Structure 1
């Protein structure tokens, strides 16, 4: 069991998208260098003052690469500590060599567990432990103080591991939401194909019956088969290229669409009023787009009910243009917490991306929460039969 855990840790990859340097790094570097100058110039009884100052500057500079090169920075920093300890052992100063600003090395410990791979964490931890052991042996500090120092050194690493676990867990939840959205799209694709193929079969059977007695009717039936086949291929080409069917059982009930929005906006009740506006040709939308519009409005209205404080109205606008469908949902409430989009909107954003559109959500300029989506309408053939509505 322990061997399997160690193997899993060793094979753990680095977290993706680690920033090289941000403005906070330069601000931190400036503050640390300023602290080194002040401490080296004003503090009395500094052992090996030039060496201590250069060593502190060295540790400050290493912090710039703590995310992109965590193992190398830890090795250089703690390797330098070992060399300094050996030099002090040979020269024999009575006090510890170094400045208090060298505490910046704790950032490297944090960066190792936050941004390093499993292999880097294991090797870097070994370097840190070896350095601490050497310092503990050479130092005459009481054991209780040494234990406290080890805990102080270990604490940034624990914080880094906790932050990494939280961020990784959140990303995993987002990925599960995106996967569920893909599965839902796959079910809707199943419904679309089943609907059109059923119509094709019926028309083909009618054409066989009428072929001998009414050739013109048979030709018309074949044209209907061609039309249904073209519509089916269009829907499949729009989604199959980006979907992977996980084998989940298909739900044969047709998904809700624009025609169901009237029923949806009557559901909230209470103090929340939903102002729904529909504009344009919305009866001939592709089924996947039709269902996506409903889902966007449903999720947005639900979020308003759950998270918007003092909201009294939600304004919903669905506008069909020649090539796109635009959805806008805005409320007049106040958001609690940090105003961050949740997992439901993450799934809708994934759905919009899969359909070739986009979705944006965030706080309004004055107040409230705004959701704006733009979806491709898709090609609509003249005379095509609209999708049956419930």
Structure 2
């Protein structure tokens, strides 16, 4: 029990709460207007104008329900507690407005967006205010049970949505980690290949250094060139260790291998077009272009209904390489977000190299994936 309490107490707030937007302002304006109309139009309401002013003053707390969930909840339910105290002290009828039910949104937000510590502090306060309100209203057993279940409904809904969001964020992290691992493997293979070449050149230099000084100088120049390229690519390496052995020293497939994906004897036909200076790309960019094109092609074959043609276009434009994969099938929502195949993972691969990726329906139908990668690797 102690461990569970510590786990709840140390639970952080959910990541990336939505900022205050137009809908939030509309919610506050609507609730405030409802309180004003109800306060003025409801006959025989005791405690006027105090009740209406207090209800309208609470509504702006709805704007803080995600950024300061505990503060907003304390303000909302604190106002409800004040009304219950006033009802007890004046021995009058019900003082609350129906529009004050908006504070239940604050209860939901406390559990949905608050940290474990804020939830542990706020829920007992809400329970105390609810108990005071039931006592002030002389609620019967049925009312107490119904009111308690009603509050628990909001708490349960908030907990469910919080759990679902946490699972979704965990899934996205797994996708990003899988893409980082794949990219790290590509870079590891490339760097290992360069280092192997440097070792061979160094051994050759030792052999010819004594008898052919001119060739030794050429070997040293080749070693310097290889080392410079290796260091440039290592600056872009994701620091993820490869869990398998050091047996794969050959570079990964690159743009030059895209032509192997072309086929005209089956449906859909695959056409590959290459343009510009694509033979001297940095190895990580070269491998990423091939991987993005391959995954986009796989997704098009799987998801593009009725497609007869898939076009893969790669071209060098200045200091950028542009990839475009388009099909002529029915527009589809894209691939599922599976590690290594999802749009999130593909976009993550492009972003790790300082580029971008976009996907969506084409202007003439079908589905289009476009990626732009800089030739210069990010430092």
In the superposition, the TM-score normalised over structure 2's length comes to 0.89
Partner of 1:277: 273
Q: Among residues 259, 263, 282, which one is paired with 1:262 in the alignment? A: 259
Query: In the alignment, is residue 223 of structure 1 matched against residue 221 of structure 2?
Result: yes
Where structure 1 has 5 or more consecutive residues not aligned to the other structure, the ranges are 380-390
The 8 Å contact of residues 82 and 131 in structure 1, kept in 2 or not, is answered as: yes
Partner of 1:206: 204
2:84 matches 1:89: no
Post-superposition Cα deviations, 1:269-290, rounded to whole Å, max 9, x if no partner, equal 8643333211122222221111
**Number of matched pairs:** 372
| Alignment partner, residue 289 of structure 1 | 285
1:52-91 matched pairs, under 5 angstroms: 52-91=51-90
Using the TM superposition, name which of 269-278 and 285-294 deviates more. Answer: 269-278
Relative to structure 1, the CA distance from residue 222 to residue 336 in structure 2 (aligned partners, 3 Å threshold; closer, same or farther) is closer
- What does 1:291-310 align with in structure 2 at a 5 Å threshold? 291-310=287-306
Q: Is the contact made by 2:357 and 2:369 (CA closer than 8 Å) also made in structure 1?
A: yes
Structural mapping, 1:144-155, within 5 Å: 144-155=142-153
Give 1:334 shift. Answer: 4.0
Partners of 1:24 and 1:340 in 2: how far apart? 31
Post-superposition offset of 1:315? 2.4
CA distance in 2, matches of 1:47, 1:200: 89
1:132 corresponds to: 130
- Deviating more after overlay: 360-369 vs 115-124: 360-369
Separation of aligned partners in 2, 1:340 and 1:51: 57
What is the alpha-carbon distance in structure 1 between the residues aligned to residue 262 and residue 82 of structure 2?
71
What corresponds to 2:243 in structure 1? 248
Stretch deviating more after TM superposition (189-198 or 206-215):
206-215
Distance 2:350 2:21 in 1: 31
Unpaired stretches in structure 2, ≥5 consecutive residues: none
Please say if residues 340 and 362 of structure 1, whose CA atoms lie closer than 8 Å, have aligned partners that are also in contact: no
Q: Which moved more, 1:124-133 or 1:246-255?
A: 246-255
Alpha-carbon offset, residue 100 of structure 1: 1.0
Whole-angstrom CA distance in 2 between matches of 1:13 and 1:365 = 44
Task: Supply the distance in 1 between the matched residues of 2:293 and 2:24 (Cα, whole angstroms).
Answer: 42
Deviations 1:329-378 (A, max 9, x none): 223344556x6983522222222222222222334455433322111223
| Corresponding residue SS for 2:49 | helix
The residue aligned with 1:32 is: 31
Q: Residues of 1 paired with 2:266 and 2:49: CA distance?
A: 73
Matching of residue 45 in structure 1 with residue 44 in structure 2: yes
